[in-house]
Amino acid sequence: MKSRSLKLVISVVVLSLILGLSGGLVAQAQDEEYTVGTSADWPPFELVDENGNIVGFDADVMRAIGLIEGYEVKIRDMSFDALIPALKSGKVDIVAAGLTITDERDKVIDYTNPYWDANQGVLVRKDSPLNVVTALSMGHKVGAQRGTTQAGWLEDNLVKKDVNINLNLYDTNDLAIMDLKNGRIDAFMADTPAARTFNTLNPELKMVGIVMTGEHLGFAVQENDPKGLLPKLNDGLEELRVTGIYDNLKEAYFGPSSDLDRITKCFSKSRHYLEEEEDPAAYAMDLRTCMAGEDE
Ligand code: ARG
């Protein structure tokens, strides 16, 4: 008798748990929306196209994972050094900004599995006589974005060790590139993929060397992942890999022809696959073909 009523209690509890959970899940699936913070000045990971859209590898990976995992994605642009504070205070739910996984940041935010490797590239003007050593010494003006690992590397390894450089920190990389081109600074440091793309977009620059920092990039969520986003992001990344979407986005953005005109044209041509058909595989394939110029 005792055990029958216990069973009854247990099944009622289990049943209400199931009902409650599934009710919750359905409600969530309808109105789940997450804000992704980025600093859209880091091509080809994130940049603003000629129509003002935030495009790039990170942005599209976020949109594709949103479709796969069933939530809406809103992308918000801000200066790089505002991203981690915005994540900590819950103004954004995810940071997708070519963010290096560092021990220091790992204490205050949580990361997905790494999705990219990077070192630090040094850019100067094409007509400059500087090499990677002279560019980073002899009183030269070196630019980097505030709050980044390149700013940290320059501070820790050069400024604090009394190597004579004049460090110029920028809120956005667009300003740094402009200053480099017009001679206000002598050199600029950026993650190798970004340095290469900055160079493609600005042929009046050249890369004179790479500092091997061995960084890994990850997407970030709030410390202890209160919204349960890490499994979604990691599953989503895995899904992008097995379906080939990841490779197509990579080819599209890291291929040889990443000029801004083409990115603008191709994003506006392919975006309906994301927004109307909600088919990230068709989007990535179409974008890759368009970026390669194979549809011309
Ligand atoms: N990987 C470097 C860091 O995490 C630089 C990232 C800059 N990203 C950007 N979207 N501007 O510090």
Is the pLDDT assigned to residue 113 strictly greater than 60? Answer: yes
The residue that leads in pLDDT, 24 or 262, is 262
- pLDDT digits 0-9 by tens, 75-112: 999 999 999 999 999 999 999 999 999 999 999 999 99
Element (H, E) at 83: helix 80-88
Q: What is the CATH number of the domain that holds 135?
A: 3.40.190.10
Residue 71, CA distances (Å) to 28, 34, 116, 264 in order? 9, 7, 24, 25
Q: Are residues 232 and 284 in the same domain?
A: yes
Q: Does residue 163 form part of some domain? A: yes
Q: Residue 22's pLDDT is what?
A: 46
Confidence of residue 7 (pLDDT cuts 50, 70, 90): low
Percent of the chain with pLDDT over 90: 86
Q: Are residues 63 and 180 in the same domain?
A: no
Q: Which residues line ligand 1 (CB under 6 A)?
A: 38-39, 41-42, 46, 80, 97-100, 145, 148-149, 173, 191
Element (H, E) at 284: helix 280-291
- pLDDT digits 0-9 by tens, 57-74: 999 999 999 999 999 999
Q: Are residues 107 and 129 in the same domain?
A: no
Mean pLDDT confidence for 234-244 = 98
**Cα 20 to ligand 1 centroid, rounded to whole Å:** 41
Which ligand 1 atom lies nearest to the CA of residue 172? 11
Q: Over the chain, what is the mean pLDDT?
A: 92
Which ligand 1 atom lies nearest to the CA of residue 40? 10
- Which parts of 71-173 are beta strand (E)? 72-77, 94-95, 109-111, 116-125, 140-145, 165-170
Confidence of residue 295 (pLDDT cuts 50, 70, 90): low
Q: Does residue 72 form part of some domain? A: yes
Q: Are residues 151 and 203 in the same domain?
A: yes
| Beta-carbon contacts of residue 105 (< 8 Å; ≥ 6 apart) | 84, 99, 111, 220
Is the pLDDT assigned to residue 25 strictly greater than 90? Answer: no
Instruction: Break the chain down into helix, strand, coil percent, rounded to 5.
Output: 50, 25, 30
Confidence of residue 165 (pLDDT cuts 50, 70, 90): very high
Residue 82, CA distances (Å) to 76, 87, 112, 222, 224 in order? 11, 9, 20, 14, 20
Q: Residue 286's pLDDT is what?
A: 98
Q: Are residues 39 and 91 in the same domain?
A: yes
Confidence of residue 26 (pLDDT cuts 50, 70, 90): very low
- Domain span at residue 206 reads 118-214
**Cα 12 to ligand 1 centroid, rounded to whole Å:** 51
The residue that leads in pLDDT, 154 or 28, is 154
Please work out, in degrees rounded to the nearest 5, the angle formed at the alpha carbon of residue 93 by the alpha carbons of 247 and 148: 70
- Which of 214, 232, 247 corresponds to the end of one domain? 214
Confidence of residue 15 (pLDDT cuts 50, 70, 90): very low
- Which of 214, 249, 267 corresponds to the end of one domain? 214
- pLDDT digits 0-9 by tens, 166-205: 999 999 999 999 999 999 999 999 999 999 999 999 999 9
